[in-house]
Homo-oligomer: A and B are copies of this chain.
Amino acid sequence: MQQLIFTNEVKDALAGLVAEMSPSGVYILTDTNTRTIGEELNSFGGKLITIGSGDECKTLESIAKVWEELSMSGATRHSVMINVGGGMITDLGGFAAASFKRGIRFINVPTTLLGAVDAAVGGKTGINFLNFKNEIGAFCPAEAVVISTRYFATLPAEELRSGFAEMLKHGLISDNETYRRLLNFDIAEADLEALLPLLEESVEVKKTIVEQDPREQGIRRALNLGHTAGHALETLALERNEPIAHGFAVAHGLLIEMVLSHLMVGFPSSELYPMAELLKRAYVPAPAITCDDYPHILELMSHDKKNTSASAINFTLLRSPGSVEIDQTASPKNIRIALDLYRDLLGL
């Protein structure tokens, strides 16, 4: 299926992939932040296409610009696109490639930890539309993903922690040993050399799950751990004009859903404290929520697109690290108790 290459020699790896695919043309998509990286990697005469950076550029207008550049420069069904950037670029570029002439091949080169561990692998592509995230898109995996930690050195520390939250999630749904290795890694003072093997392990967890269920009809929902609560926290913060990074919301969402797992399916309470300590060390400030916010948090959770009906709130829960229960419905009462205990654990 999808080829994953873990290397810090990205330029050589890409040149090898392009030679192997012998495309009729190569197009390198970057945003304004990653254009220099795209130029450096271009040892094969590819054409650069650059769009604006940030989630606010993940639009129909941007993708139409990409399609136009492909069309006008004579790209064919046998061309290849290389997406160089964070999740915004690999999501948008993946959908641009998936839909151009009904699908051309593409390669992802994630330049952020969050992109490497999440967006670039697994075939979910798309753009935002109106006010809805990833409303328009396709399930379409990249031919190959080239993953390196070399681009992370210049990223803000916050971005690294944000991506690490998804790694924690992969550890939790995979097995206890993987999870413990992550708890022992100090993301606050990250050693990028030591991060690469952990990242490799983490991406393989995702790849294995996606291969079993590419279109998220069952076990892929394990990857939603932490995200029902996390998305609600993220939206709440956005509504208050105090946006928080996706991974920060997910990290806190993980603890909330671990508490809920304790209440509902017997997840050991002893596992809650190390995660709470990690959050207090690396994911501060915590979202400023009080019990007055609970009704709105519940409402936001009920709008999650993963729910099958408007009245039930769907969660992925854990019996223990590595033992996942998908499609669990929690009562508003249990969610309130979980939020209370979460706030206690963090001293909020």
Contact = CB atoms under 8 A, between A and B. Distances in A.
Interface of A: 24, 60, 64, 67-68, 71-72, 76-78, 95, 98-103, 124-126, 129-130, 132, 134-139, 215, 305, 308-309
Given A64-B60, A305-B76, A139 B71 contact: no
Contacts of A126: 102
29 contacts: A24-B308, A24-B309, A60-B60, A60-B64, A67-B129, A67-B135, A67-B136, A68-B129, A71-B129, A71-B130, A71-B135, A76-B305, A78-B308, A95-B99, A98-B138, A99-B99, A99-B137, A99-B138, A101-B135, A101-B136, A101-B137, A102-B124, A102-B125, A102-B134, A102-B137, A102-B139, A103-B138, A103-B215, A138-B138
As for how many copies of this chain the complex holds, the number is 2
A134 B102 CA distance: 8
A71 B138 contact: no
A64 B136 CA distance: 10
Contacts of A71: 129-130, 132, 135
Nearest to A125: B102
Nearest 9 A-B pairs (CB), nearest first?
A102-B137, A99-B136, A71-B130, A102-B139, A102-B138, A71-B132, A67-B136, A99-B138, A67-B129
